[in-house]
Amino acid sequence: RQGDFLAEAGSENRVSFLVSDFQKSITGFDEIHADTSSNIYLVPLMAEQSDNIFIDSCWFENPVHQVQQQTKLFVRIRNVSGTSYEKIPVKLSVNGMQKALASFDLGPDDFVDIIIPYTHHEPGRKMAKLEISDYPIVYDDHYYFSYIVRDMIPVLSIYDREQNPYLQSFFGNDSAFSYKSMQVGRLDYSNLQSHSFILLDQLSRISSGFTQELSKFVDKGGSLAVFPSTDIDLQSYQAFTSQFDASLYSKLDSIESRVTDINIRHPLFNDVFEEWPSGREQQGSNIDLPVALKHYPMQYSSLNMTESLMTLGNDRDFLNIVPFGKGKIYFFASPLDDRFTNLPRHALFVPLLYRMALLSQALYPLSYTIGSFIVRIELPDISITGDKVFKVRKVENGNEFIPEHRATASGTEVILHQQISSAGHYAISKESEDIQILSFNYDRRESDLTLMGEDEIEDMISAFGHNNISIFSSLGKPVSQSIQELNEGIQLWKLFIIFVLIFLAAETILLRLWK
């Protein structure tokens, strides 16, 4: 704005003033592209209060939440002052009601991570807020976030000849899952999208039409697990895996091999093992892992995105995962059959499938940062027609606006262009029905109130070679007066008039009294 104004003014003497407190955390001299035809003066403002503690961020131990299960919330508090704090309370509210209370001690220029455990008793969308008390700087003492607690996870098993008793026994008897089992020949493809986790249980062949429907399901964010059949049609399976750029199944290997390595760093195995020994030889000798009596070797090139999760002693994958679109696919090397593997009777079977089902849930960011970037929200399977529009409403005061939206192959994308300027919870609604909850917080970089001194500013100016930039100093005078003196020079006419009057008075006195 200043550059445009100075360019239109046409004056040769161009002067620009930049007024700032020059916080270290957000001041970037590398982003200044100064017009060399102008003289730029930096006007530093010194804050009276710079000590501050603030809520930096929060995250959950497990990203998936279920009814009647305890969840652990981690909260990071930062102290950007030289003062120590003791027994500072932090309060957690969920949907307007206080859920938990904790306290923390914090040393100078340090941070602390506190754990807040609590339990959800009802499913649905949750609007949460963390609060601390830190007078007088309070804008960053609230932290807003939102998430969804699931009631039941919809799981679908698709079989060829008969239902798998192991899958039925596990998913069918657990209230956390809504389990259905369908024969592939009677399957209604339109119902696939109503599930989040689908298991292909020993299908002899996979048709091209079914492959396309599964591709749409995974692309929209669903999870798929593939257990090959005892007598697979290799050609159809290879066409199926090629659709996802995944490993290709090859001819049956009847040599027994035991799982010797597990990718425990993958989220699938979080909280599955209490302890895991280091070294491959120790893994193979000290842990009872599943055995593949027969398996279909999976071959893949180094160019695809396949990640190994469980590896056999012959260095082939027993289980791997392939990301596709917004979802993922798990490929097993053996069918769920006692003649091929002992996995269905192994202790790892239950936590393995349980974690797969949990991780099949769609995950959304807990919160967004105001002003950091354009926010794009995917609304799968939701569309709008005619002159109807989506609305975004701030939950705390009811203020609303109409955002931009675009139709996509999977539904609708809502785009927020810097329309949100205050922290809080926001609801995206369609025809007065809330369909998504978003949470926004102020940029935490501004919470670090450590300021740059004049010496540091001068060093930065020199480092980036800004020869036409200098620090403006008022030398104890009002800033407006100093700026006026800079533009017009020091005005001496008043002083000259005073001297003239003094001299005239002196002359008059001398003429009257001089003898």
Per-10-residue mean pLDDT, the chain, length 515: 76 78 76 71 73 90 81 92 89 93 91 93 92 83 92 90 90 85 90 91 92 91 92 91 88 92 86 65 63 90 78 92 91 93 92 89 86 81 80 91 83 86 92 89 84 79 74 69 67 84 89 77
Bond before 136 cis per omega within 30 degrees:
yes
Instruction: Please tell me the predicted confidence (pLDDT) of residue 3.
Output: 75
CA-to-CA dists, residue 397 to 151, 329, 424, angstroms = 29, 43, 10
Instruction: Please tell me the predicted confidence (pLDDT) of residue 48.
Output: 63
Tokens of 188: 């209604």
Residue 346 phi, psi dihedral angles, 5° rounding: -85, 155
Instruction: Please tell me the predicted confidence (pLDDT) of residue 280.
Output: 45
Is the distance from CB of 212 to CB of 228 less than 8 angstroms?
A: no
Tokens of 482: 């100093």
Tokens of 470: 């200098």
Instruction: Please tell me the predicted confidence (pLDDT) of residue 28.
Output: 73
Residue entry with tokens 């649905």? 124
Helices 234-243 & 208-219 angle (0-180, nearest 10)? 30
Other Cβ atoms closer than 10 A to 477: 12
